[in-house]
Amino acid sequence: MRLFNIITFVLIAGLLSACTRDFSETNTDENNPTNVTPDLLLSGVIRNMMNRQVNTAWGIGNIVVQHHAKIQFVNEDRYLWGEQNSVWDDVYDNYRNLQNIFAAVGTDETNPYYGVSLILKSWMFAQATDAYGDIPYSEAGKAKLEGLYQPVYDKQEDIYTGILADLEKANKVLATGGSTINLDGDILYGGGASSIIHWRKLANSLRIRYLLRMSKRKDVSAAMEAIVSDRINNPVFENNSDNAELKYQSAAPNQWPLYGSRVGSIDEFRVSKTLSDRLTALGDPRLKVFGRPTQKSVAAGTPVIAGIPNGLSDVDALAYNGGVQGVSRIGYTFACLVCNDQGQAAPDPAAARGLLMTYSELEFSLAEATEMGLITNETAETYYTNGVVANFDYWKAVVPSVYGIDVSMPAGYLTQAGVVYSGDKSERLAKIALQKWIAYYFNGLEAWFDWRRTGMPEIVPGPSNLNDGRVPVRFIYPLKEQSLNGVNRTAAVERQGADNLNTKPWLIK
């Protein structure tokens, strides 16, 4: 009986002590956190958006600007686009995590995550509005905190105003916000105090990009001049080390996004004849980065890079130049694991990079702005030459030496008729546009956005195009918006114009 009492006492004591434990600790799944720190959120946003930039360039951007063409499944090349929702989905999905960073930072604008997140927000929404026109902006991302599930579509003009204001603010708060704070999670510039100046340069370089992009609609000369005339307070890219690019790694899962693709998926995309003809005419060795000699020409002992015209039918595309062996595949730098040719070193999964903006793009933009009289602090020829040289240097640094590709600028390249900075104003602008088009290779949709504004260099729809002989100028809105946000989508369509590929957004009207 005594033993029974002792056992009972021990059990009751154990139960009483258990009642004092913190059940919230016991019931918390530490492998499924409800709060994530800004550094982890930032790295995820950068990685997701930069990979999207690569994939969008591959699937549609390189096609519409005729860097690439297709030999089968040619709908994109014939402008039978349908929905192109990747930009929309990725921008709004990743904006949720930017909102979480803003919430974690609160009112502390001295926190560098605040300024960096403003820059990423600006770039992301610029991508979306450039692709679609009027989009949700001022009310976007407010579903969780404010219950706003059907945001209005803002006018593109107002979106650009907000983007430029946020970039200007980002530059200022990063300049005064304590540059010694570590930026963990910064996989674009490496974090730490030294990354702050790079982010500020990106903010101001993007301001130049977007001011030039809206220059057809507004006088942007004062705003641009204010940036370039005060580079102490408004630093911009100065060389290729400032490039906003994601460097990939040799090990999965952070390899070049196309590295794991099937060879068939890669090989339906080929070098465009537009690209190969233009660079061949200039004797431009960058063509060897963008494409490979055709298998037929290699077998004949006379290797040559030859592209295929854009916009052919399926039958004509597969038969062009005697079949697929007569059309150049894309360059090794952008290939997949099983895409190397016989005798060629295996593709490097970390060679190619995801591009947000480069120094060469900035210099070409400044060259055009100077030529157009928007800024006056330097000669257009200086900016133009800087841009050409920088892009050659960029590819020299990127292409692995084992590929045996010499990307050195040939003697006399800058003085030949098709490159030398001479001629009347229209000829000089055309040369800037051509070199900028080359430098935009694999940079998402940026070459398309820039071409819509200038019409240069020329893009001629292919013979079997399905868009009445017109190059598309926008994406249609996601069809799901008709049911999810129908009233606001309808208002945007009534204001902007028919929801089709040919309705010009405000920027290019």
How does pLDDT run across 382-437, given as a tens digit for each residue?
A: 999 999 999 999 999 999 999 999 999 999 999 999 999 999 999 999 999 999 99
Q: Residues 85-126: pLDDT tens digits?
A: 999 999 999 999 999 999 999 999 999 999 999 999 999 999
Looking at the structure, do residues 411 and 448 belong to the same domain, yes or no? yes
pTM: 0.93
pLDDT band at 12 (very low <50, low <70, confident <90, very high): very low
Looking at the structure, do residues 436 and 315 belong to the same domain, yes or no? no
What lies within 8 Å, CB to CB, of 422 at 6+ separation is: 428
Looking at the structure, do residues 65 and 146 belong to the same domain, yes or no? yes
Looking at the structure, do residues 313 and 189 belong to the same domain, yes or no? no
Q: Per-residue pLDDT for 11 more than 50?
A: no
Least confident of 18-27, 28-37, 337-346, 419-428: 18-27
Q: Which candidate, 430, 93, 455, 418, places its Cα nearest to that of 281?
A: 418
Looking at the structure, do residues 229 and 273 belong to the same domain, yes or no? no
Q: Are 395 and 289 in contact (CB under 8 A)?
A: yes
Looking at the structure, do residues 292 and 315 belong to the same domain, yes or no? yes
Domain membership of residue 5 (yes or no) is: no
The SS3 of residue 247 is strand
Q: Residues 219-244: pLDDT tens digits?
A: 999 999 999 999 999 999 999 999 99
What lies within 8 Å, CB to CB, of 83 at 6+ separation is: 475, 476, 478, 479
Residue 412 is part of a domain; what is its CATH number?
A: 1.25.40.390
Domain membership of residue 21 (yes or no) is: no
Domain membership of residue 393 (yes or no) is: yes
Instruction: Check whether the bond before 457 is cis (ω within 30° of 0).
Output: yes
pLDDT score, position 119: 98
Domain membership of residue 434 (yes or no) is: yes
Q: Residues 282-320: pLDDT tens digits?
A: 999 999 999 999 999 999 999 999 999 999 999 999 999
Looking at the structure, do residues 307 and 252 belong to the same domain, yes or no? no
Amino acid at 321: N
* Average pLDDT score over residue span 153-173: 98
Element (DSSP H or E) covering residue 168: helix 156-176
Looking at the structure, do residues 404 and 456 belong to the same domain, yes or no? yes
Q: Residues 125-141: pLDDT tens digits?
A: 999 999 999 999 999 99
Looking at the structure, do residues 250 and 321 belong to the same domain, yes or no? no
Instruction: Check whether the bond before 410 is cis (ω within 30° of 0).
Output: no
pLDDT band at 33 (very low <50, low <70, confident <90, very high): low
Beta-carbon neighbour count of residue 162 at 10 Å? 16
Looking at the structure, do residues 51 and 170 belong to the same domain, yes or no? yes
Q: Residues 166-179: pLDDT tens digits?
A: 999 999 999 997 65
Domain membership of residue 19 (yes or no) is: no
Indicate if the alpha-carbon torsion angle 422, 437, 317, 466 is positive or negative.
negative
Looking at the structure, do residues 219 and 71 belong to the same domain, yes or no? yes
pLDDT score, position 208: 98
Domain membership of residue 3 (yes or no) is: no
Tokens coding 296: 């037929």
What domain range is 154 assigned to? 39-257+353-508
Beta-carbon neighbour count of residue 404 at 10 Å? 11
In total, how many domains does the chain have? 2
Domain membership of residue 1 (yes or no) is: no
Looking at the structure, do residues 302 and 376 belong to the same domain, yes or no? no
**Burial of 161 from C-beta contacts in 10 A (0-12 / 13-18 / 19+):** middle
Domain membership of residue 24 (yes or no) is: no
